[in-house]
Structure 1
Amino acid sequence: MKLYYSPGACSLSPHIVLKESGLTFEAIAAPTKTHTLADGTDYYTINPLGYVPFLVLDDGRTLHEGPAIVQYLADLVPNKQLAPANGTWERYKLQEWLNTIGTELHKGFSPLFAPGMPAEAKEIAKTRLISRLNWVDGELTGKDYLMGSTFTVADAYLFVVAGWGKHVGIDISGLNNLSAFIARVAARPAVQDALRAEGLLT
């Protein structure tokens, strides 16, 4: 299978999950600024939406939403416990986290990366994001990971999105639980492998 990604973008989440899974895959850079692959291919000819992540299976089937991709990957390797079993209460809690990260945090960062966004709008977005990150910090009290003591695909997603704060002036150093969580996830060998593969760690 192939994963199309852009370094440091939300596609880093399934990249991490693939590294954690041990599955065989090919990672292909599809920079979100140029939409041109290394061989000159126009990325829009592969994914008409133009964004990442984009997963292409060996039989040609595709997935283009991060939360769907990471759950699919987790279900391929149930022994890795990257997601609770389908139909369990814990699986719905995992989906709750994936949706919260996607709608309240991931999309919350969008105005801060948008060229030409008015400063006032950015400040409103920052205030809302800080409020949500404070809430996440509280939810991590007494836990190593979002679901407790086991690393799941939701942790990969939170790690990536919360890490964007340093690029847009959001300081989370005062959020002790979240800061410890980020350091904990960053220390995982598979996470370091994914960061290295994307040129984000030397």
Structure 2
Amino acid sequence: MTEPLQLYYYPGVCSLAPHIALREAGARFEPVRVDLRTRKTEAGDDFARINPKGYVPALRLPDGYVLTETAVLLQYIADTWPEAGLAPRHGGLERVRFDERLTFIGTELHKGFAPFTIMPGAGEEAKRWASQRLAARVELLARDLGERQFFHGESFTVLDAYAFFALRTYHKVLAAELPPNLAAFLARVAERPATVAAFAAEGIKA
């Protein structure tokens, strides 16, 4: 694919995962910042006309079609640039298990941050319940990673990009300590050139 894509993002949120993945893939793309309060792009375009769901990430393809949902964008990136090795090929149980992990992060961690981020008026009881649930999910990730460098072995994949966003958010938003292997994973991914470039482009600090 030679045509540039457009990635609609807001600094440091879930759009960070496909941002990193696009850079890992060597894709040509234009990052387009969205103000999530005004729902306007940096050029003043109405983001609701681009993505009626009203949230990032969104990825405009060369034909004008707009993809949404973090896990879907990650799968699209991995499958569009297979030479980058960012996911197992379709057609076997290895890919099914890979997508299972991707979905786990999306449903059990990513959406679990709502009481601390986007849910208005979340009470302390709701936050306490969510915190305990998230801690249990993080522990499952720690067991899953074990002593490996990355979540699908020794090579970086889009699964690691999503896990990086989720664990970074957990650590920062909840001020929660990570198990040692996950803390090491977070530091490892933060040092990758694609991550460093994505942080610089979004104007955020590690």
Instruction: Compute the TM-score of the two structures, normalised by the length of structure 2.
Output: 0.93
| Residues 126 and 170 in structure 1, CA contact (< 8 A), matched pair in contact too | no
Q: Quick check: 1:154 aligned with 2:164?
A: no
Q: Quick check: 1:57 aligned with 2:61?
A: yes
Aligned ranges 1:99-138 → 2 under 5 Å: 99-113=103-117, 114-138=119-143
Residue 26 of structure 1 is matched in structure 2 by 30
| Residues 172 and 178 in structure 1, CA contact (< 8 A), matched pair in contact too | no
Aligned ranges 1:79-98 → 2 under 5 Å: 79-98=83-102
Following the alignment from structure 1 to structure 2, what is the Cα–Cα distance between the partners of residues 43 and 55? Answer: 12
Find the partner of 1:169 among 156, 159, 174. 174
CA deviation vs aligned residue, 1:59-78 (integer Å, no higher than 9, x gap)? 11221011111111111211
Letter in 2 for 1:69: L
Instruction: Compute the TM-score of the two structures, normalised by the length of structure 1.
Output: 0.95
Unaligned stretches of 5+ residues in structure 1: none
Following the alignment from structure 1 to structure 2, what is the Cα–Cα distance between the partners of residues 196 and 93? Answer: 33
| Residues 35 and 42 in structure 2, CA contact (< 8 A), matched pair in contact too | no
Q: Quick check: 1:37 aligned with 2:41?
A: yes
Letter in 2 for 1:6: Y
Q: C-alpha displacement at 1:53, in angstroms?
A: 0.7
Letter in 1 for 2:131: K
Q: C-alpha displacement at 1:188, in angstroms?
A: 0.5
Unaligned stretches of 5+ residues in structure 2: none
Letter in 2 for 1:108: G
Q: Quick check: 1:70 aligned with 2:74?
A: yes
Find the partner of 1:145 among 142, 145, 150. 150
What secondary structure does 2:59 align onto?
strand
Q: C-alpha displacement at 1:110, in angstroms?
A: 1.0
Q: C-alpha displacement at 1:3, in angstroms?
A: 0.7
Residue 188 of structure 1 is matched in structure 2 by 192
What secondary structure does 1:28 align onto?
strand
Letter in 1 for 2:41: L
Q: C-alpha displacement at 1:201, in angstroms?
A: 3.2
Following the alignment from structure 2 to structure 1, what is the Cα–Cα distance between the partners of residues 185 and 109? Answer: 16
| Residues 50 and 66 in structure 2, CA contact (< 8 A), matched pair in contact too | no
Q: C-alpha displacement at 1:88, in angstroms?
A: 2.1
User: Which stretch shifts more, 71-80 or 155-164?
Assistant: 71-80
CA deviation vs aligned residue, 1:70-98 (integer Å, no higher than 9, x gap)? 11111121111001101122211210111
What secondary structure does 2:36 align onto?
coil
Say how many residue pairs are matched.
201
| Residues 7 and 31 in structure 1, CA contact (< 8 A), matched pair in contact too | no
| Residues 138 and 177 in structure 1, CA contact (< 8 A), matched pair in contact too | no
Following the alignment from structure 2 to structure 1, what is the Cα–Cα distance between the partners of residues 149 and 166? Answer: 17
Identity of aligned residues (%): 44
